[in-house]
Amino acid sequence: MNLLRVWAMSRKELLHIARDPRSLGMAIAIPMLLLVLFGYALTLDVDNVPLVVWDQDGSHASRAFVSRFTGSPYFSLRGYVRNGQQLERAVDSGKALVGLVLPPDFAGRVDSGREVPVQLIVDGSDSNTATIAMGYADGVVRAYSQELASRQIRRRGGVEPAWPLEVRPRVWFNPELESKNYIIPGLIAVIMMVIAALLTSLTVAREWERGTMEQLISTPVKGRELILGKLLPYFAIGMLDVLLAVLMGEFLFQVPLRGNVALLFAMAAIFLAGALALGMTISIVTKSQLLASQVAMVLTFLPAFLLSGFMYAISNMPQAIQWVTYLIPARYFVALLKGIYLKGIGLNILMLEAGLLTLFALLMLALANVKFHKKLE
């Protein structure tokens, strides 16, 4: 391999990027824009659940019970209703996700120690949010019930019994349970996979469409030198994108980076090389910029977004789909990023993912070299 010829190809590609602001914008601006948009738009946190209350009792006890919901950071009181029709309209219109219904004899039942039926009406059109909201409401009601039981026992002069089990949860790695802390690292992997493949998917196809491939074929440049020369400029731009993404995660989104920074960039370099080589292979096979960009989007964005474990837990997928995810390289990079970012672990635990990611990069580079034939077809 002649390094001078590799540099000549790299210089040619750099000149093209510099003269084409669209390519440069796609290479740098789009990843940053996507990170900002998805970073702020994608959230799995359920806070300020809109709540309406139908308090048929209107007593001090019922208002005290409602205050447990309004004083919680998870519920936001949107108002009171006077009948079931108003409650139904509030839920139908989206004004409220949860409707709380208190019976007319709420205070009397509480004072006498009888069971109090309290109804919770939940909009189940968004099943995930509804399930979380019901969990919040169940926690509020359980805490209130335990307090009432303890108060009645003390009032009767009894000894308050010790609860047989007491759960003391301790959350590791993400104690605030903020979804951005695991969405941002995964988002970096998805964006880099898509952008890297899209960039290089246009390189060889552009040469065929513009008629310059015949000139390259007539030169002494070998196939692997041409491929490497075209990959290097985009590799440098991709690593710059990784640096900017890491800085944005640290200073814009305040995502903790607990692991080794050098390991993070090393794994990003391997993943980026594989993604760029995948795009190059698509460009070599299709020889059309439009078709190459479409194929690259289908082969990168959808699998990386849906099957990498970035948004949806792989363990919850059907068994057949779980087997398919082993073919998605973004799965291993997402696992590496989350492990390095949140857990601060190294290759002693992530060796399998790092090895498979390296295998993907080597296979894609070899495939691009095999598919490129320096001749007219």
d(CA 2, CA 222): 9
Shared-domain flag, residues 336 and 219: yes
Shared-domain flag, residues 133 and 217: no
d(CA 91, CA 95): 6
Q: H or E segment at 77?
A: strand 75-80
Question: How many domains, in total, are found in the chain?
Answer: 2
Would you say residue 213 lies in a domain? yes
Tens place of pLDDT per residue across the chain (377 aa):
777 878 888 888 888 777 777 767 767 888 888 888 888 877 777 788 999 999 999 999 999 999 999 888 889 999 999 999 999 999 999 899 999 999 999 988 888 878 888 999 999 988 888 888 999 999 899 888 888 877 777 776 666 566 567 677 788 888 877 888 888 888 888 888 888 877 787 777 777 777 676 676 667 778 788 888 888 988 988 899 899 999 998 898 888 899 999 999 999 999 999 999 998 888 888 888 788 888 888 888 888 888 898 878 888 889 999 999 999 999 999 999 999 998 999 999 999 999 999 999 999 999 988 887 755 45
d(CA 269, CA 354): 11
Angle at alpha carbon of residue 244, lines to 239 and 250, rounded to 5°: 125
Helix residue ranges per DSSP H, 171-222:
180-200, 203-210, 213-217
CB 26, CB 243: distance < 8 Å: no
Shared-domain flag, residues 115 and 200: no
DSSP tag of 340:
I
- Note the pTM of the prediction, 2 decimals: 0.80
Helix residue ranges per DSSP H, 71-179:
84-92, 106-112, 127-155
Shared-domain flag, residues 131 and 234: no
End-to-end C-alpha distance for the chain, whole angstroms: 25
Would you say residue 160 lies in a domain? no
Three-state DSSP state, 269: helix
**Which of 140, 155, 170 is the last residue in one of the domains?**
155
Would you say residue 245 lies in a domain? yes
81: domain range? 49-155
